[in-house]
Amino acid sequence: MHIEPTETQALVAKTARDYAERTLKPLAATLDREERFPLAQLRELADLGMMGVNVPAELGGAEAGAVAYSLAMTEIARGCASTAVTMAVTNMVAEVITRFGTEAQRERHVPKITSGDYVAGAFALSEPEAGSDPGSMRTTAEKVPGGYVLRGQKQWITSGAHAGVVVVWARTGGPGTKGLSAFLVEGGTPGMKAGKHEDKLGLRASNTVPITFDDCAVTEDALLGGEGGGFKIAMMALDGGRIGIASQALGIATAALDEAADYARNRKQFGKPIGDFQGVKWPLADSRTELDAARLLALRAAWLKQEGRPFSREAAMAKLFSSEAANRIVSRCLQIHGGYGYVRDFAIERHYRDVRVTTIYEGTSEIQRTVIARAELRG
């Protein structure tokens, strides 16, 4: 068993860490306060190969694998969680088109994602009435000569207002998950319109919007995979996406823990650094232990994916544990900051808001437990 990263993985992680440290960390508070979408930074990340870490080189990707992607995502999230989620969804879209697209679809979209020509990609599965249960989706795609017409509404779409391409799920057949298909809809297509930017608790520099499809016509070649194959595509994409969110949560918690340890070394009460008190040492110790356990789960899921082995259960375990642990860790780290943790002068306040959503999106913790238990009961 080898736990050390390969040379490539270490290089990708270092590239991401250097960029996060130099560019994202100093900017994150401003981006958050101004709710500013990190346009320039996303382009720079594309130049560094971060928009297709696990995408073949022939499509402009870094071809560095899923483990390198997990490491990079953690490093970027250490610097700015909003930028990280935008990068996570964009990588997911690049991977999904690479895997399920025709050669023409791949060539049309993936190089534009990996090069930064498209600022981002978006993944439009959720709807106002269909979150954990995509089978209840109402958006439809009516077959017409030469293509389809999409009608309906999507909700919570990350980068929906900026994406060069949106993967959209819609119903082409009967009820339930079997009637779902996926489509590649280019940004600016008439009839597809992004709504008002959500006023969120955290990740305030990421773009989250509803999207409406009002007689949105697409040609036949927009269909991704076959008709009725949409649910399978969504679930496979989310398996990989969950490694990304587990890694993002890890990054936020790592930043919080580093800052809490630093604070505990410097803040004095009762004539000594608060880090001398057992009541401060133990949460630091518990947090580091949980963080490492979460990291190992995420890396194992990424490694299985990279090896082409089943990883759905392991990705759900990684996402469940990592996001829940990250929430506990960031909360403890805020406590270590005392009252200073409650104000915007310290980054921990932002981490506390940013980390919250990691137990919710790309499947809530309850849905991850459902995936894990299903595998358990199958025997």
Q: Establish if 248 lies at the interface with ligand FAD (CB under 6 A).
A: no
Contact range with ligand FAD by CB under 6 A, out of 15-23, 45-53, 151-159, 254-262: 151-159
Rounded to whole angstroms, what are the CA distances from 153 to 171, 197, 213, 242? 12, 15, 6, 24
Which run of H or E residues covers position 43? helix 39-47
Length of the chain: 379
Query: Helix H segments across 101-152?
Result: 103-115
Nearer Cβ to ligand FAD, position 125 or 257?
125
* Angle (nearest 5°) at CA 22 between 246 and 249: 10
- Helix, strand, or coil (residue 310): coil
- Helix, strand, or coil (residue 141): strand
The count of C-alpha atoms lying within 13 angstroms of the C-alpha of 338, restricted to the half-sphere facing its C-beta, is: 9
Least distance to ligand FAD, CB of residue 284, Å: 29
Nearest Cα to Cα of residue 84 among 366, 363, 372, 350:
350
Least distance to ligand FAD, CB of residue 68, Å: 23
Pick from 28, 124, 192, 245 the residue near ligand FAD by CB under 6 A: 124
- How many amino acids of this chain bind ligand FAD (CB under 6 A)? 22
Residue nearest to ligand FAD (CB): 131
How far apart CA 282 and CA 51 sit, in angstroms, is 38
DSSP for residue 276:
G
Q: Establish if 224 lies at the interface with ligand FAD (CB under 6 A).
A: no
Q: Establish if 125 lies at the interface with ligand FAD (CB under 6 A).
A: yes
Least distance to ligand FAD, CB of residue 244, Å: 12
How far apart CA 331 and CA 341 sit, in angstroms, is 10
Q: Establish if 352 lies at the interface with ligand FAD (CB under 6 A).
A: no
**Tokens 């870490």 -> residue:** 53
- Amino acid sitting at position 376: E
Residue 191 region, left (φ>0) first, then alpha (ψ -120 to 50), else beta? left
Distance of CA 15 to the CA centre of its chain: 19
Q: Establish if 119 lies at the interface with ligand FAD (CB under 6 A).
A: no
Pick from 83, 126, 247, 254 the residue near ligand FAD by CB under 6 A: 126
Q: Establish if 361 lies at the interface with ligand FAD (CB under 6 A).
A: yes
Q: Segment 155-214, which members bind ligand FAD (CB under 6 A)?
A: 156-158, 200, 203, 208
Start-to-end C-alpha separation, the chain: 26
Q: Establish if 5 lies at the interface with ligand FAD (CB under 6 A).
A: no
Nearer Cβ to ligand FAD, position 125 or 315?
125
Q: Establish if 56 lies at the interface with ligand FAD (CB under 6 A).
A: no
Nearer Cβ to ligand FAD, position 9 or 126?
126
Catalytic residue among 75, 127, 349, 362: 362
Least distance to ligand FAD, CB of residue 264, Å: 31
Nearer Cβ to ligand FAD, position 237 or 348?
237
Least distance to ligand FAD, CB of residue 105, Å: 20
Which run of H or E residues covers position 210? strand 208-219
User: Known catalytic residue: 362?
Assistant: yes
Least distance to ligand FAD, CB of residue 202, Å: 8
Q: Segment 81-100, which members bind ligand FAD (CB under 6 A)?
A: 89
Least distance to ligand FAD, CB of residue 156, Å: 3
How far apart CA 46 and CA 325 sit, in angstroms, is 30
Both structure tokens of 73: 């995502």
How far apart CA 351 and CA 20 sit, in angstroms, is 15
Nearer Cβ to ligand FAD, position 321 or 361?
361
Nearer Cβ to ligand FAD, position 202 or 225?
202
Q: Establish if 269 lies at the interface with ligand FAD (CB under 6 A).
A: no
Nearest Cα to Cα of residue 248 among 99, 46, 90:
90
**In the complex, which residues of this chain contact ligand FAD (CB under 6 A)?**
89, 123-126, 131-132, 156-158, 200, 203, 208, 357, 360-364, 366-367, 370
- Hey, which residues are catalytic here? 362
